Amino acid sequence: MLRLADPRFGDDAVQAIARVLASGHLTQGPVVAEFEAAVAAFCGAAHGIATTSATTALELALAALDIGPGDEVIVADFTYPATGNVVLQRGARLRLADVDPATYCVDPAAVERLIGPRTRAVIAVDVFGLPADYATLEPLLDRHGIPLVCDAACSLGGAIGARRTGTFGRMACFSFHPRKSLTTGEGGMVVTDDGALADRLRRLRNHGTERRDWRATFVEPGFNARMSDLNAALGLVQVPRHAGTVARRRALAQRLGDRIAALPGVRPQAVPAGTLHPYQAYVVVLDPIYDRDAAIRALRDRGVESTLGTYAMHGEPAFARACGTRAGDLPASQALMERTLALPLHERMAEADVDRVASALADVLPLVRRAPARA
Amino acid in position 284:
V
Closest by alpha carbon to 55, among 84, 31, 96, 28? 84
Cα angle 308, 242, 124; round to 5? 50
Query: Which of 90, 180, 249, 259 is flagged as catalytic?
Result: 180
Query: 298 and 286 in contact (C-beta within 8 Å)?
Result: no
Cα–Cα distances (Å) from 24 to 190, 229, 312, in that order, read 26, 10, 44
Active site residue 31: no
Rounded Cα distance, 16 and 232, in Å: 9
DSSP one-letter code for 369: B
How many CB atoms are located within 10 Å of the residue 268 CB? 16
Q: Which of 178, 118, 136 is nearest to 153 (CA)?
A: 178
Phi then psi dihedrals of residue 206, to 5 deg: -120, 60
Give the list of residues 6+ apart from residue 80 with CB closer than 8 angstroms, or none.
Answer: 153, 310, 311
CA distances (Å), 219 to each of 69, 84, 153, 196, 201, in order?
21, 28, 29, 15, 13
8 Å CB contact between 371 and 344: no
Nearest-CA neighbor of 305 among 25, 74, 1? 1
Catalytic residues: 180
